[in-house]
């Protein structure tokens, strides 16, 4: 599903305009992004939890040349699905 398809579904289900659905979706994405930038977690009961995972520095290997590459430590977004979402997908 693309962003445009999701906006169409939101607009139809909530009986609002596509423009309002687009604003709502963008606001949701921006809010989750800013919370993760601060290091907060965003929990949506039944759906899942967005959080930030810390990845350790490591040494990787280029599969083509075999050359060793230093990969620095970093933070990465993480999503853990909630029980209701897991059960709905089964």
CATH number of the domain bearing residue 50: 4.10.520.10
Per-residue confidence (pLDDT) for residue 9, from 0 to 100: 97
Strand partners for 78: 51
Q: What is the pLDDT of residues 32-87, one digit of tens each?
A: 999 999 999 999 999 999 999 999 999 999 999 999 999 999 999 999 999 999 99
Range of the domain at 85: 41-90
Whole-angstrom Cα distance, residue 8 to residue 1?
11
Check residue 75 and give left, alpha or beta (phi > 0: left; psi -120 to 50: alpha). beta
Q: How far apart are CA 18 and CA 81, in angstroms?
A: 27
Residue 55's pLDDT is what?
A: 95
- The bridge status of strand 74-81 relative to strand 48-55 is antiparallel
Q: How many domains in the chain?
A: 2
Same domain, 90 and 64: yes
| 11-16 average pLDDT score | 96
């Amino acid at each position: 599903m693309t962003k445009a398809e999701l906006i169409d579904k939101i607009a139809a289900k909530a009986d609002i305009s596509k423009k309002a659905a687009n604003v709502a979706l963008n606001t949701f994405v921006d809010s989750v992004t800013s919370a993760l930038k601060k290091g907060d977690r965003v929990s949506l009961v039944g759906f899942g939890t967005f959080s930030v995972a810390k990845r350790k520095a490591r040494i990787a290997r280029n599969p083509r040349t075999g050359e060793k590459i230093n990969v620095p430590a970093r933070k990465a977004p993480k999503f853990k699905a909630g029980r209701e979402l897991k059960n709905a997908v089964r």
